[in-house]
Amino acid sequence: MKIRPGVRRIAKAPGKQADGAGKRRKQTGGSKFKSTTESQRLISRYHTLLKLEAAAQKENRPEDAEKYALEREALGGIDSYQKASIFGESTQQNGEFSSSAWVLKDIESRTEQRTDTPLRLLDVGCVVDHYATTPVSADCIDLNPQADGIIKADLIEYLPGARAVYDAVVLSLCVNFEGDAQKRGRMLAKAATLTRPGGRIYLVLPLACVSNSRYMKHGRIVAMMKALGCGDHSVTKTSKLAMYIFTMGEEGCSGDPTRVFPRKLCRGGAQRNNFCIILDGGEGDDNG
Protein backbone atom coordinates (compact mmCIF):
# COMPACT_ATOMS: atom_id res chain seq x y z
CA MET A 1 0.00 0.00 0.00
CA LYS A 2 2.17 2.80 -1.23
CA ILE A 3 1.34 6.39 -0.57
CA ARG A 4 1.78 8.32 -3.75
CA PRO A 5 3.10 11.79 -3.16
CA GLY A 6 0.94 14.29 -4.92
CA VAL A 7 -2.29 12.33 -4.69
CA ARG A 8 -4.77 14.81 -3.40
CA ARG A 9 -6.98 14.08 -0.48
CA ILE A 10 -10.43 13.32 -1.85
CA ALA A 11 -13.70 14.60 -0.44
CA LYS A 12 -14.76 13.04 2.81
CA ALA A 13 -16.77 9.90 2.24
CA PRO A 14 -18.85 8.07 3.10
CA GLY A 15 -19.67 9.04 6.66
CA LYS A 16 -21.22 12.44 6.13
CA GLN A 17 -24.15 11.25 4.06
CA ALA A 18 -24.64 7.88 5.70
CA ASP A 19 -24.83 8.72 9.35
CA GLY A 20 -26.26 12.18 9.18
CA ALA A 21 -23.67 13.22 11.72
CA GLY A 22 -21.78 15.65 9.59
CA LYS A 23 -22.08 18.68 11.86
CA ARG A 24 -18.96 20.78 11.80
CA ARG A 25 -17.49 23.26 14.20
CA LYS A 26 -15.10 26.09 13.77
CA GLN A 27 -11.50 25.80 14.85
CA THR A 28 -11.26 26.79 18.50
CA GLY A 29 -7.58 26.36 19.05
CA GLY A 30 -6.94 29.53 21.14
CA SER A 31 -5.59 28.41 24.47
CA LYS A 32 -6.30 29.36 28.06
CA PHE A 33 -3.43 27.23 29.38
CA LYS A 34 -0.15 28.66 30.58
CA SER A 35 1.84 25.47 30.96
CA THR A 36 1.69 21.79 30.10
CA THR A 37 1.56 21.03 33.81
CA GLU A 38 -1.73 22.88 33.88
CA SER A 39 -3.12 21.21 30.75
CA GLN A 40 -1.92 17.76 31.87
CA ARG A 41 -3.54 18.21 35.26
CA LEU A 42 -6.88 18.92 33.61
CA ILE A 43 -6.54 15.93 31.26
CA SER A 44 -5.69 13.62 34.11
CA ARG A 45 -8.57 14.78 36.33
CA TYR A 46 -10.96 14.59 33.40
CA HIS A 47 -10.02 10.95 32.75
CA THR A 48 -10.47 10.11 36.42
CA LEU A 49 -13.90 11.74 36.49
CA LEU A 50 -15.01 9.86 33.37
CA LYS A 51 -14.08 6.57 34.99
CA LEU A 52 -15.73 7.44 38.30
CA GLU A 53 -18.85 8.57 36.51
CA ALA A 54 -19.10 5.41 34.39
CA ALA A 55 -18.63 3.25 37.49
CA ALA A 56 -21.28 5.19 39.40
CA GLN A 57 -23.73 4.76 36.52
CA LYS A 58 -23.06 1.02 36.33
CA GLU A 59 -23.47 0.64 40.07
CA ASN A 60 -26.71 2.61 40.04
CA ARG A 61 -25.40 5.54 42.07
CA PRO A 62 -26.99 8.38 40.07
CA GLU A 63 -26.17 11.04 42.64
CA ASP A 64 -22.47 10.23 42.49
CA ALA A 65 -22.59 10.07 38.70
CA GLU A 66 -24.14 13.52 38.63
CA LYS A 67 -21.56 14.87 41.06
CA TYR A 68 -18.73 13.69 38.79
CA ALA A 69 -20.48 15.01 35.68
CA LEU A 70 -20.85 18.39 37.36
CA GLU A 71 -17.18 18.47 38.26
CA ARG A 72 -16.32 17.70 34.63
CA GLU A 73 -18.53 20.56 33.53
CA ALA A 74 -16.93 22.84 36.12
CA LEU A 75 -13.56 22.03 34.57
CA GLY A 76 -14.95 23.22 31.24
CA GLY A 77 -16.26 19.90 29.91
CA ILE A 78 -14.96 18.06 26.89
CA ASP A 79 -14.20 21.37 25.20
CA SER A 80 -11.60 22.27 27.83
CA TYR A 81 -10.26 18.74 27.80
CA GLN A 82 -9.67 18.88 24.07
CA LYS A 83 -8.14 22.35 24.24
CA ALA A 84 -5.77 20.97 26.85
CA SER A 85 -4.85 18.17 24.39
CA ILE A 86 -4.29 20.66 21.59
CA PHE A 87 -2.22 22.89 23.87
CA GLY A 88 -0.02 19.96 24.96
CA GLU A 89 0.54 19.02 21.36
CA SER A 90 1.31 22.57 20.30
CA THR A 91 3.99 23.04 22.94
CA GLN A 92 5.71 19.83 21.79
CA GLN A 93 6.59 19.23 25.44
CA ASN A 94 4.59 16.05 25.44
CA GLY A 95 4.50 15.82 21.70
CA GLU A 96 7.04 13.07 21.26
CA PHE A 97 4.26 10.85 19.96
CA SER A 98 2.36 11.63 16.81
CA SER A 99 -0.13 8.91 15.94
CA SER A 100 -0.46 10.11 12.35
CA ALA A 101 3.32 10.03 11.77
CA TRP A 102 3.46 6.50 13.17
CA VAL A 103 0.47 5.34 11.10
CA LEU A 104 1.71 6.93 7.89
CA LYS A 105 5.17 5.44 8.35
CA ASP A 106 3.63 1.98 8.67
CA ILE A 107 1.42 2.50 5.63
CA GLU A 108 4.38 3.67 3.56
CA SER A 109 6.42 0.67 4.60
CA ARG A 110 3.88 -1.77 3.26
CA THR A 111 4.65 -3.47 0.01
CA GLU A 112 1.09 -3.84 -1.25
CA GLN A 113 0.52 -1.41 -4.09
CA ARG A 114 -2.72 0.48 -4.44
CA THR A 115 -1.83 3.21 -6.81
CA ASP A 116 -5.28 3.69 -8.30
CA THR A 117 -7.23 4.64 -5.17
CA PRO A 118 -6.07 6.58 -2.13
CA LEU A 119 -5.99 4.55 1.03
CA ARG A 120 -9.13 5.07 3.12
CA LEU A 121 -8.53 5.73 6.77
CA LEU A 122 -10.79 6.44 9.74
CA ASP A 123 -9.23 8.43 12.58
CA VAL A 124 -11.35 8.04 15.71
CA GLY A 125 -11.05 10.60 18.48
CA CYS A 126 -9.47 13.14 16.19
CA VAL A 127 -8.69 16.42 17.92
CA VAL A 128 -6.53 17.77 15.11
CA ASP A 129 -6.78 16.42 11.55
CA HIS A 130 -3.18 15.54 10.78
CA TYR A 131 -4.16 13.71 7.60
CA ALA A 132 -5.56 16.74 5.78
CA THR A 133 -2.36 17.39 3.86
CA THR A 134 -1.39 13.77 3.32
CA PRO A 135 -2.25 11.51 0.40
CA VAL A 136 -4.60 9.26 2.36
CA SER A 137 -8.33 9.81 2.23
CA ALA A 138 -9.16 10.26 5.88
CA ASP A 139 -12.49 10.48 7.64
CA CYS A 140 -11.92 12.02 11.05
CA ILE A 141 -14.54 11.65 13.76
CA ASP A 142 -14.84 12.89 17.31
CA LEU A 143 -17.53 13.19 19.96
CA ASN A 144 -16.84 16.91 20.11
CA PRO A 145 -15.02 18.21 17.03
CA GLN A 146 -12.61 21.08 17.62
CA ALA A 147 -11.87 21.88 14.01
CA ASP A 148 -13.42 22.12 10.58
CA GLY A 149 -13.41 18.86 8.70
CA ILE A 150 -13.86 16.63 11.73
CA ILE A 151 -17.17 14.79 11.76
CA LYS A 152 -19.20 14.81 14.96
CA ALA A 153 -19.88 11.15 15.65
CA ASP A 154 -19.57 8.42 18.25
CA LEU A 155 -17.69 5.47 16.78
CA ILE A 156 -20.15 3.02 18.34
CA GLU A 157 -23.00 4.56 16.36
CA TYR A 158 -21.04 5.59 13.31
CA LEU A 159 -22.54 4.33 10.05
CA PRO A 160 -20.30 5.09 7.12
CA GLY A 161 -22.55 3.24 4.71
CA ALA A 162 -21.05 -0.22 4.48
CA ARG A 163 -19.15 -2.62 6.64
CA ALA A 164 -15.44 -3.08 6.17
CA VAL A 165 -15.05 0.16 4.25
CA TYR A 166 -11.68 1.26 5.59
CA ASP A 167 -8.14 0.17 4.84
CA ALA A 168 -7.09 1.53 8.22
CA VAL A 169 -8.86 2.50 11.43
CA VAL A 170 -6.91 4.51 14.00
CA LEU A 171 -7.87 4.35 17.69
CA SER A 172 -5.22 6.50 19.27
CA LEU A 173 -5.73 7.27 22.95
CA CYS A 174 -9.50 7.28 22.54
CA VAL A 175 -10.49 3.83 23.84
CA ASN A 176 -9.03 4.70 27.26
CA PHE A 177 -10.89 8.04 27.09
CA GLU A 178 -14.18 6.11 27.32
CA GLY A 179 -14.98 5.46 30.97
CA ASP A 180 -17.19 2.40 30.46
CA ALA A 181 -15.37 -0.93 29.96
CA GLN A 182 -18.18 -2.41 27.88
CA LYS A 183 -18.29 0.60 25.57
CA ARG A 184 -14.51 0.33 25.15
CA GLY A 185 -15.09 -3.21 23.91
CA ARG A 186 -17.80 -1.98 21.57
CA MET A 187 -15.38 0.54 20.13
CA LEU A 188 -12.93 -2.24 19.33
CA ALA A 189 -15.69 -4.40 17.86
CA LYS A 190 -16.93 -1.54 15.71
CA ALA A 191 -13.43 -0.79 14.48
CA ALA A 192 -13.14 -4.43 13.42
CA THR A 193 -16.41 -4.35 11.48
CA LEU A 194 -15.31 -1.20 9.66
CA THR A 195 -11.89 -2.51 8.61
CA ARG A 196 -11.64 -4.50 5.39
CA PRO A 197 -10.00 -7.95 5.35
CA GLY A 198 -6.27 -7.33 5.22
CA GLY A 199 -6.76 -3.78 6.53
CA ARG A 200 -5.23 -2.53 9.75
CA ILE A 201 -6.36 -1.31 13.13
CA TYR A 202 -3.93 1.00 14.90
CA LEU A 203 -4.63 0.95 18.63
CA VAL A 204 -2.72 3.17 21.04
CA LEU A 205 -3.22 2.87 24.79
CA PRO A 206 -1.31 4.32 27.72
CA LEU A 207 1.17 1.60 28.65
CA ALA A 208 -0.23 1.39 32.18
CA CYS A 209 -3.52 0.12 30.73
CA VAL A 210 -1.85 -3.15 29.73
CA SER A 211 1.25 -3.32 31.91
CA ASN A 212 -0.19 -2.37 35.28
CA SER A 213 -3.89 -3.11 35.22
CA ARG A 214 -5.67 -5.65 37.36
CA TYR A 215 -7.96 -6.56 34.48
CA MET A 216 -5.97 -6.09 31.31
CA LYS A 217 -2.72 -7.36 29.91
CA HIS A 218 -1.07 -7.60 26.56
CA GLY A 219 -2.16 -11.20 25.85
CA ARG A 220 -5.76 -10.40 26.65
CA ILE A 221 -5.90 -7.49 24.19
CA VAL A 222 -4.43 -9.71 21.50
CA ALA A 223 -6.93 -12.50 22.28
CA MET A 224 -9.80 -10.00 22.10
CA MET A 225 -8.68 -8.64 18.76
CA LYS A 226 -8.26 -12.18 17.45
CA ALA A 227 -11.82 -12.97 18.46
CA LEU A 228 -12.89 -9.85 16.56
CA GLY A 229 -11.27 -11.20 13.39
CA CYS A 230 -7.70 -9.92 13.53
CA GLY A 231 -4.83 -12.11 12.42
CA ASP A 232 -1.28 -10.82 12.70
CA HIS A 233 -0.29 -8.12 15.09
CA SER A 234 2.74 -6.19 16.19
CA VAL A 235 3.25 -4.10 19.27
CA THR A 236 5.69 -1.33 20.13
CA LYS A 237 5.99 -0.26 23.73
CA THR A 238 7.47 3.04 24.79
CA SER A 239 7.86 4.27 28.35
CA LYS A 240 4.32 5.67 28.15
CA LEU A 241 2.46 3.91 25.38
CA ALA A 242 1.51 0.52 23.97
CA MET A 243 1.07 0.85 20.21
CA TYR A 244 -0.61 -2.06 18.46
CA ILE A 245 -1.04 -2.75 14.78
CA PHE A 246 -3.60 -5.47 14.07
CA THR A 247 -4.25 -6.84 10.60
CA MET A 248 -7.77 -8.01 9.89
CA GLY A 249 -7.94 -11.64 8.78
CA GLU A 250 -9.22 -12.54 5.37
CA GLU A 251 -12.93 -13.15 5.00
CA GLY A 252 -13.99 -16.60 6.17
CA CYS A 253 -11.03 -17.09 8.47
CA SER A 254 -12.16 -14.59 11.03
CA GLY A 255 -12.41 -15.16 14.76
CA ASP A 256 -15.49 -15.40 16.89
CA PRO A 257 -16.98 -11.96 17.52
CA THR A 258 -19.64 -13.50 19.77
CA ARG A 259 -17.00 -14.60 22.24
CA VAL A 260 -17.43 -12.88 25.57
CA PHE A 261 -14.50 -11.41 27.51
CA PRO A 262 -15.86 -10.40 30.92
CA ARG A 263 -14.03 -8.47 33.59
CA LYS A 264 -11.43 -10.91 34.83
CA LEU A 265 -8.60 -10.47 37.29
CA CYS A 266 -5.27 -10.76 35.46
CA ARG A 267 -2.91 -9.74 38.26
CA GLY A 268 -3.18 -8.58 41.83
CA GLY A 269 -1.35 -5.94 43.82
CA ALA A 270 -2.23 -2.77 45.63
CA GLN A 271 -0.54 -0.44 43.14
CA ARG A 272 -2.49 -1.63 40.11
CA ASN A 273 -5.02 0.39 38.16
CA ASN A 274 -8.51 -0.83 37.20
CA PHE A 275 -8.40 -0.31 33.46
CA CYS A 276 -10.61 -2.89 31.79
CA ILE A 277 -12.11 -3.68 28.40
CA ILE A 278 -15.14 -5.96 28.22
CA LEU A 279 -16.25 -7.71 25.06
CA ASP A 280 -19.90 -8.58 25.38
CA GLY A 281 -20.17 -10.62 22.19
CA GLY A 282 -22.18 -7.88 20.43
CA GLU A 283 -21.25 -6.91 16.92
CA GLY A 284 -20.01 -3.48 17.82
CA ASP A 285 -22.80 -1.99 15.80
CA ASP A 286 -25.62 -0.54 17.84
CA ASN A 287 -27.52 0.24 14.69
CA GLY A 288 -27.94 -3.33 13.56
Ligand X SMILES: C[S@@+](CC[C@H](N)C(=O)[O-])C[C@H]1O[C@@H](n2cnc3c(N)ncnc32)[C@H](O)[C@@H]1O
> 15 vs 135, which CB is nearer to ligand X?
15
Q: Does 99 bind ligand X (CB under 6 A)?
A: yes
Among 18, 55, 173, 235, binds ligand X (CB under 6 A): 173
Among 143, 164, 207, 266, binds ligand X (CB under 6 A): 143
Give min distance, CB of 111 to ligand X, in A.
27
For the beta sheet containing 230-237, the strands, ordered from the edge strand earlier in sequence to the opposite edge, are: 151-152, 137-142, 120-124, 166-172, 195-206, 241-248, 230-237
Going from the C-alpha of 149 to that of each of 125, 146, 215, 228, 275, the distances in angstroms are 13, 9, 37, 30, 32
> 240 vs 267, which CB is nearer to ligand X?
240
How buried is 269 (Cβ within 10 angstroms: 0-12 exposed, 13-18 middle, 19+ buried)?
Answer: exposed
Among 140, 155, 159, 278, binds ligand X (CB under 6 A): 155
Where does this chain touch ligand X (CB under 6 A) — which range of 31-39, 55-63, 123-131, 244-252?
123-131
**Footprint of ligand X on 175-194 (CB under 6 A):** 177-178, 187
Q: Residue number with the shortest CB distance to ligand X?
A: 125
> 113 vs 133, which CB is nearer to ligand X?
133
Among 52, 122, 127, 277, binds ligand X (CB under 6 A): 127
Q: Does 213 bind ligand X (CB under 6 A)?
A: no
Q: Does 154 bind ligand X (CB under 6 A)?
A: yes
> 249 vs 276, which CB is nearer to ligand X?
276
Question: Which residues form the interface with ligand X (CB under 6 A)?
Answer: 78, 82, 85, 99, 124-127, 141-144, 154-156, 172-174, 177-178, 187
